[in-house]
Amino acid sequence: MNWTEIDEHISRVTGEKFHSSQRRSVSGGCINQGYAVSDRQLTYFVKLNQASLVGMFEAEALGLQQMFDTATIRVPKPLCWGTAGNSSYIVLEWLEMGGGNPKSWFEMGRKLAAMHQVGAQQCCAPTTSQGFGWEINNTIGSTPQINTWTADWGEFYIKHRLGYQFQLARRRGGSFPQQEKLLAIIPELLADHQVSPSLVHGDLWGGNAGCTASGEPVIFDPATYFGDREVDIAMTELFGGFPAAFYQGYNEVFPLDAGYETRKTLYNLYHILNHFNLFGGGYASQANRMIEQILR
């Protein structure tokens, strides 16, 4: 790995000479290599992957910057991204993470609610913000996530979320007998739910949220787009759930709408299908059970 190119890129964007005299391996998430790089004064977080995936890092940087610009909830500020030899990279602000406490999680709920109150018209040029979607496609894990602007939320969710995942799943040999019945009923399921586009994290499970050593809540590794805010809350409940204080804080600022408990399964189906497409195994059976639950 040619670290000189990354050091020089950091130097250019910060305006200060940086030479990474210390590098240690840290977690980079499920699909990347992660490093803490330091010149003994400043430390940055660098994630690496193969050069062909530089677009994934570009989208991550744009998503983090958009969330950062809302001045609501803490995210690691992106510095730069690019390719160096056979690798792609992204450089982020280094944050010392800690444990957090109920107060920290309460504040996380409040701050996420504030971010969800930011809509597409506040973040994007009027000529490009046309309802639900985002300025570019990005990834959910390593799976492409299609963000074509769509005026209607139900149409967006059918075509660019569930429909796309079902398409990928069929290629992997997945069988979902009630797929078409489910997709056909979604407009009815969402008919009484008034949705305004909210800036969402998009992949908000426990592994992508935490607190700094000082207790400040942080979210990271996003799959950003403008969608129904409930997709974020639903995912926080998917793999073990966040502490109760998080939901108390969220509902204090931006109470969830009636019917959320029903829509939650519909929204989490997207992530279970994606897990099948990434990992296979029993996720297809779990997805079929969720479909049956929605159709009851």
CB 58 within 8 A of CB 81: yes
Burial of residue 114, with CB atoms counted within 10 A of its CB: 0-12 exposed, 13-18 middle, 19 or more buried = middle
Query: 174: which 2 tokens?
Result: 């997945």
Burial of residue 28, with CB atoms counted within 10 A of its CB: 0-12 exposed, 13-18 middle, 19 or more buried = middle
CB 116 within 8 A of CB 229: yes
Strands 143-145 and 43-50, how do they pair? unpaired
Strand partners, 88: 49, 83
Tokens 């779990």 found at: 286
- CB-side neighbour CA atoms (13 Å) of 96: 5
Neighbours of 70 (CB within 10 A): 17
Question: 3-state SS string over 70-108?
Answer: CCCCECCCEEEEEEECCEEEEEEECCCEECCCHHHHHHH
Q: Which of 79, 56, 211 is nearest to 138 (CA)?
A: 56
Kindly list the catalytic residues: 203
Please tell me whether residue 175 adopts helix, strand or coil conformation. Answer: coil
Beta strands in 222-279 (DSSP E): 225-227
